[in-house]
Structure formats: structure tokens, C-alpha cells
């Protein structure tokens, strides 16, 4: 079964096209293959980043461990009190 692909057009500067062509040639691959590899890598990084950002947002919004709960669990010898910070 043939894989389905979509088509898209991208405009790049001549310098970028020359660099892509040189890299593709050095790898003995097509420019299309190289661009698809770059897109795959970008999407992997994007997915990882958005997951990490969401995890941090969840922590900040109290869906995970809350700061004041962590501070209460810390030994008093290392519990830092900052001006304007209330630890009840």
C-alpha cells in the first residue's frame, strides 16, 4: 500500500536553497528527503517543548505539587524566608 503524501510549496532564499542542495548532495539524498527530515526533527522538538511547557504550567496552576506545600516539607534549617513571601 502506497503511503499518502501531501504537497506544499515553500519559498527560500537562493542561499538557503544552495545550502540545502549541498547538504543533500553530500548525503546522497534528495532535497525533498532532507526537508522532510528537517520537518520531522522540528515536529519532534515542538512536541517535546509543548509537553514540557504544559507540565510547567500545570505545576504553576496547582495541578501538581504546590510551592507552599514543598516549602512546608523542607527542613527549617534550609527554609528560606524572602521579604514579601508569606509562609503560613
Q: Which tens digits make up the pLDDT trace of 2-47? A: 678 899 999 999 999 999 999 999 999 999 999 999 999 999 999 9
Query: What pLDDT does residue 32 have?
Result: 95
Give the start-to-end residue ranges of the domains of the chain: 14-73
Which three three-digit cell numbers place residue 42?
Answer: 522540528
- Give the pLDDT confidence score for residue 18 in this predicted structure: 97
Q: Give me the sign of the Cα torsion angle 47, 7, 36, 18.
A: negative
Amino acid at each position: 500500500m502506497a503511503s499518502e503524501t501531501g504537497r506544499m510549496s515553500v519559498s527560500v532564499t537562493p542561499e538557503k536553497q544552495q545550502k540545502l542542495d549541498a547538504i543533500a548532495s553530500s548525503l546522497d539524498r534528495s532535497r525533498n528527503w532532507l526537508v522532510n527530515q528537517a520537518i520531522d526533527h522540528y515536529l519532534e522538538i515542538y512536541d517535546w517543548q509543548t509537553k514540557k511547557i504544559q507540565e510547567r504550567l500545570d505545576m504553576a496552576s496547582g495541578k501538581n505539587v504546590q510551592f507552599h506545600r514543598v516549602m512546608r516539607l523542607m527542613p527549617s534549617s534550609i527554609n528560606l524566608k524572602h521579604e514579601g513571601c508569606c509562609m503560613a
